[in-house]
Amino acid sequence: MALPRIDNLEITKVTEDILLVHQIKQPFFFSCCDGLLVLPKNGRNLKTISLDLNIEQEYVNLLNEVYGPISDYICTHSHLDHICHVHAWEEVGTTIHAPLPEASFLLDLHNFYLGFGFDEGLDYSTVKEFANLNGYQKSKQVKAFTPGETLKFDDFRLETISFQGHSKAHIGFLLSNEKVFHISCLGFDKPDPETEGFGPWYGFKETSISQYLEDINKAEEIFLQRAKFLTSSHSYIVENPDISPFDYMRKKVSNNQEKVDNALNDSNNTHTSEDDAVQHLLDMDLFFPKSRLKGVIYEIYRFWESWIIRKHIQRSSVFNTLYPP
Ligand SMILES: [Zn+2]
2 Cα: distance to centroid of ligand 1 (angstroms): 32
Mean pLDDT of 46-54: 98
pLDDT tens for residues 140-190?
999 999 999 999 999 999 999 999 999 999 999 999 999 999 999 999 999
Q: N- to C-terminal Cα distance for the chain?
A: 63
User: What's residue 268's pLDDT?
Assistant: 67
Contact 193, 181 (CB under 8 A): no
Mean per-residue pLDDT of the chain: 95
170 Cα: distance to centroid of ligand 1 (angstroms): 7
302 Cα: distance to centroid of ligand 1 (angstroms): 17
185 Cα: distance to centroid of ligand 1 (angstroms): 5
13 Cα: distance to centroid of ligand 1 (angstroms): 24
CA 115, 153, 57, 201 torsion: positive or negative? positive
259 Cα: distance to centroid of ligand 1 (angstroms): 22
Distances (CA, A) of 148 to 71, 99, 102, 197: 21, 9, 14, 28
81 Cα: distance to centroid of ligand 1 (angstroms): 7
Host H or E run for residue 216: helix 209-226
User: What residues sit around ligand 1, an ion, with C-beta below 5 angstroms?
Assistant: 79, 185
Distance CA 154, CA 157 (A): 8
User: What's residue 228's pLDDT?
Assistant: 98
Full-model pTM: 0.96
200 Cα: distance to centroid of ligand 1 (angstroms): 9
42 Cα: distance to centroid of ligand 1 (angstroms): 33
CA 181, 184, 188, 193 torsion: positive or negative? positive
3 Cα: distance to centroid of ligand 1 (angstroms): 28
163 Cα: distance to centroid of ligand 1 (angstroms): 11
* Between 321 and 300, residue with greater pLDDT: 300
| Residue percentage of the chain with pLDDT more than 70 | 99
* Between 320 and 128, residue with greater pLDDT: 128
157 Cα: distance to centroid of ligand 1 (angstroms): 24
41 Cα: distance to centroid of ligand 1 (angstroms): 30
pLDDT tens for residues 222-278?
999 999 999 999 999 999 999 999 999 999 999 999 999 999 988 766 777 899 999
Contact 21, 53 (CB under 8 A): yes
83 Cα: distance to centroid of ligand 1 (angstroms): 10
Q: Is the pLDDT of residue 132 over 90?
A: yes
| String of DSSP letters for 48-91 | EEEES----HHHHHHHHHHH--EEEEE----SHHHHTTHHHHHH
